[in-house]
Structure 1
């Protein structure tokens, strides 16, 4: 498990983060429905060569979760910008997955962040995206938030599995589920789904042009995008 011992207050939200290693800076931005724990086996492999910064997006993982919270993509790029400033980073290398890819792109095109390089994989970047399940939760968030815990756990496990081609181990399911259970976590899980809105990628899609750093776009041969129904990979 990655340790996130630090807390920064950004736009009224407590954001948890950690760092390890020594060397040129590398920022890892997780996607949904996970947390920075998606990097738990990757970050330790990099710490001998890089100073790795990782964090939980607002409303995710160990970061603060509360009723009425804005956890949409609209806030995540501003949080990333604030963290860059706090960490004193100018042009770090960035690796970003899923919603983390959208966050990195929004921060670049809307907030003027600059990167030494950018690697995005399975990124939410182009319309259309948002599965029928996402649309259903958006219409009935309260009903899902209040369902019995055993029903929620079953749905959560099934949802997590749609993000992976191979079966997730029991350990992985437990790690990825942990933030999303209980009186705080369960409504937070449906809150972040209910706030998934394509307009936040529509806002920047028309701005995409050649970036002033090396860019690597990864999309797995067996990546179907089923849980988000993203439709197609982003190609420069």
Structure 2
């Protein structure tokens, strides 16, 4: 992967994989032991653009856009729930022929990884949960308000809606986003169609989809890293402490000066923490 691919306007995934829930945009970078990155909401694979080149020096890094996010599209009638995303993850692992990859999940991606491993039977060599929505309640007040008033937000004038989510997105990082970076995060949600996709995913996200996995966290038997932005304003570090305490032998780390989008605030420190974790011996 070239350095240019980390720039906002040049990021994109080249593969299209059909799964039961729709068509997934995906890609693989580098060679070596497999690592599978799962973003959360309201991001897309763009979140990983600074981390991927660093991991890909020594690993085969598998990246995808969740169904209904980025360049992935849902099959008509399918809701972009965590359960549906976990099934898609299991199908991608089978498509790529991965026996036991390291699964890395951010935000609801953490819930997706946990559900895929504990409920869908996806084998993993290691798990890394970054600012992860696993233990409930994890919806922010902003998301809960949107869920309660979905029809209002869905019919809101598009330009007003865009301003609203643009402001919300900027609270995901500790450091101010450059305009072109913020625009890249917002691009999948642009226009009336993007507004509809945003409301669809907000309305479909529920702790019910992670409740079963959360109740079985003590069954995780692979090395697990709980990595958190020290200044996460969406899911505070107390959640990280609870999550790490729920998983046998889990190690916990912070990225100082980073908010909820830890890989956006500090991709180098995020990659360094992941690489250190990946290099540690497996008992």
Normalised-by-shorter TM-score class = over 0.9
Aligned residue among 18, 25, 31 for 2:40: 31
Q: Which residue of 1 aligns with 2:239?
A: 232
Residues 76-118 of structure 1 show CA distances to partners (whole Å, capped at 9, x for unaligned) of 1100000000000011122211111100000111011111111
TM-score (norm 2): 0.78
Q: Secondary structure at the match of 1:111?
A: coil
Q: Deviations over 1:29-87 (max 9, x none)?
A: 11110000100111122222111110001111110157643101111110000000000
2:159 to 146, 150, 162: 150
Alignment partner, residue 57 of structure 1 = 66
Alpha-carbon spacing, 1:155–1:66, altered in 2? closer, same or farther (3 Å):
farther
1:183 is aligned to 192
> Is this contact kept in 2: 1:100–1:123, CA < 8 A?
yes
> What residue number does 2:149 align with?
140
One of 184, 201, 212 as aligned partner of 1:192: 201
TM-score, with length taken from structure 1: 0.92
Question: Could you say which residue in structure 2 is the equivalent of 1:89?
Answer: 98
**8 Å CA contact retained: 2:23, 2:75:** no
Q: Does 1:108 align with 2:104?
A: no
User: How far apart, CA to CA, are the structure 2 residues paired with 1:155 and 1:65?
Assistant: 25
- Greater relative contact order (CA < 8 Å, ≥ 6 in sequence): 1
Structure 1 or 2: more helix by fraction: 2
Aligned to 2:273: none
Kept in 1, the 8 Å contact 2:228–2:237? The answer is: no
Select the residue among 185, 196, 209 that pairs with 2:218. 209
8 A Cα contact 1:65 1:188, kept in partner? no
What SS does structure 2 have at the residue aligned with 1:82? helix
CA–CA distance in structure 1, aligned partners of residues 70 and 193 of structure 2: 11
Instruction: Kindly indicate whether the alpha-carbon contact (under 8 Å) linking 1:31 and 1:97 is maintained by their aligned counterparts in 2.
Output: yes
Structure 1 unaligned residues grouped into runs of 5+: none
Question: In 2 relative to 1, CA 231–103 (structure 1 residues): closer, same or farther, beyond 3 Å?
Answer: same
Take 2:59 and 2:118, find their aligned partners in 1: how far apart are those partners?
A: 26
Instruction: Map 1:41-52; keep pairs closer than 5 Å.
Output: 41-52=50-61
Change (3 A) 1:86 1:57: same
Gaps in structure 2 of 5+ consecutive residues: 1-9, 246-283
